[in-house]
Amino acid sequence: MPNEEERRVYTVTELTRSIKSILEKSFPEVWVEGEVSNLRIPSSGHMYFTLKDESAELHTVMFRGLNQYLRFKMEDGLMVVAFGIVSVYQRRGEYQLVVEKLEPRGLGALQLAFEQLKKKLEEEGLFDEAHKKPVPFLPIKIGVVTSSTGAAIRDIINVVQRRFSNVEILVNPVRVQGEGAAQEIARAIDELNEMGEVEVMIVGRGGGSLEDLWAFNEEVVARAIYRSQIPVISAVGHEIDYTIADFVADLRAPTPSAAAELVIVAKEELVNRIEVIQSRMKSGVLNTLTLLKNRLSSARESYAFRRPKETIQQYQQRIDDLARSLAITMDHLLELSRERVARVAGKLETLSPLGILSRGYSISLKLPERAIIRRAAALKAGDEVETMVKEGSFLSRVR
């Protein structure tokens, strides 16, 4: 055991600083792979989280000055690769990884950010077909949001002027890549809407890498397109390139040139359409006139037109025949009706009380109630009786 003079006693701070110095010298730069858990972002903006695998955990911090440039959204469960230095947080005596760079494992950072934003906006309904506005058939004024010096604007102008030279193009120039480009694009879209003169808008740029096209994958651009009252055609990159702007826009074009072709029908094509319609109309009118002419010729050649007086006489004779037939039919019907009435009258006469009296029968009524007498037992001595015969009646008293 060392003597009192040889023993070195550290304070907690001294020991912690020594360990911190040793760790930082031993691991000046290190890449660490793990799963994010216990993510915490306080108001300071710093990120505190734990990197873990099956057997261990590592406390990790990424300060605001660096994490604000992350393209993707940090969340628990994400597998990442972190670059930084191993240090010690003296206050708690804990070693930790101070991260300078952070990448998602598997997908690249930009691709992961693309997928995260796409999922978020899709769930909010920004891609729904119900929100898509129709593109006007032949607009007079077209707005274009792109770089004023790029190939995209030259392609658009060339196509539009070739197809329909009297269409007006209003360019709102912006940067299409780099820091702040997304904000410029969104502001330009809003400005064209505020003007209220543009009928359709093309938003895009020429081809490039994923990083070059990234401004059109920013949320601020997507929301500007979504709130635009002017129909928006996205034309970003080449045919194989897809951006968030393509999903939100009312119509996607594979290239800026294709966007110009979609929004402006070629004048020659319109002329051809008109000529086809004119030809069809002319043929239709001629066919109708020919049909009517044939009908008129047939009518002229008919018997009625060649000998109209005889035709009228034929109809007059036919009317006389019909009148005679009608009179005969009416007489026959009246005779049948008379016979039917006579038969009914005979039956009524047979069943009538007066008919019975005419055959020698009589009807006796008990007075004073004048009730018909059906049985002799209904009478008693002294009752008065009225007897009706065919002609008149007489009174009698029962004895």
pLDDT band at 355 (very low <50, low <70, confident <90, very high): low
Assigned CATH for 139-264: 3.40.50.2300
pLDDT of amino acid 107: 57
Spans of all domains in the chain: 12-106, 139-264, 357-397
Between 284 and 23, whose confidence is greater? Answer: 284
pLDDT of amino acid 135: 87
CA separation, residue 102 to residues 54, 105, 260 (Å): 20, 9, 41
The string of DSSP letters for 243-279 reads: -HHHHHSSEE-SSHHHHHHHHS--HHHHHHHHHHHHH
Q: State how far the Cα of 310 lies from the Cα of 44, in Å rounded to an integer.
A: 113
pLDDT of amino acid 167: 83
Q: Mean of the pLDDT values across residues 277-306? A: 79
pLDDT of amino acid 230: 93
* pLDDT over 60 at 267, yes or no: no
For the ranges 7-11, 201-205, 249-253, 367-371, which has the lowest average pLDDT? 7-11
pLDDT band at 231 (very low <50, low <70, confident <90, very high): very high
Q: Which CATH superfamily is domain 12-106 in?
A: Nucleic acid-binding proteins (2.40.50.140)
pLDDT of amino acid 128: 92
Q: Mean of the pLDDT values across residues 271-297? A: 83
Q: State how far the Cα of 383 lies from the Cα of 311, in Å rounded to an integer.
A: 88
CA 297 to chain centre: 55
Biggest alpha carbon–alpha carbon distance for the chain: 178
* pLDDT over 70 at 2, yes or no: no
**Local structure of residue 323 (DSSP, 8 states):** H
Give per-residue pLDDT as tens, 124-162. Answer: 999 999 999 998 888 889 999 999 888 888 888 888 888
The string of DSSP letters for 159-201 reads: HHHHH-TT-EEEEEE---SSTTHHHHHHHHHHHHHHH---SEE
Same fold? 12-106, 139-264: no
Strand 200-205 relative to strand 57-62: parallel, antiparallel, unpaired? Answer: unpaired
* pLDDT over 90 at 250, yes or no: yes
Phi, psi of 57 (to 5 degrees): -130, 150
pLDDT of amino acid 233: 92
pLDDT of amino acid 398: 86
pLDDT band at 3 (very low <50, low <70, confident <90, very high): low
Q: What whole-number percentage of the chain has pLDDT above 90?
A: 16
* pLDDT over 70 at 102, yes or no: yes
Q: What whole-number percentage of the chain has pLDDT above 70?
A: 91
Most confident of 165-179, 311-325, 335-349: 165-179
Edge-first strand order for the sheet with 232-236 is: 168-173, 141-146, 200-205, 232-236, 251-252
Q: pTM, whole model, 2 decimals?
A: 0.51
Q: Mean of the pLDDT values across residues 90-114? A: 78
Q: Mean of the pLDDT values across residues 308-312? A: 74
Q: Mean of the pLDDT values across residues 362-371? A: 85
pLDDT of amino acid 354: 67
Edge-first strand order for the sheet with 363-366 is: 371-372, 363-366, 384-388, 393-397
Between 268 and 310, whose confidence is greater? Answer: 310
pLDDT of amino acid 67: 84
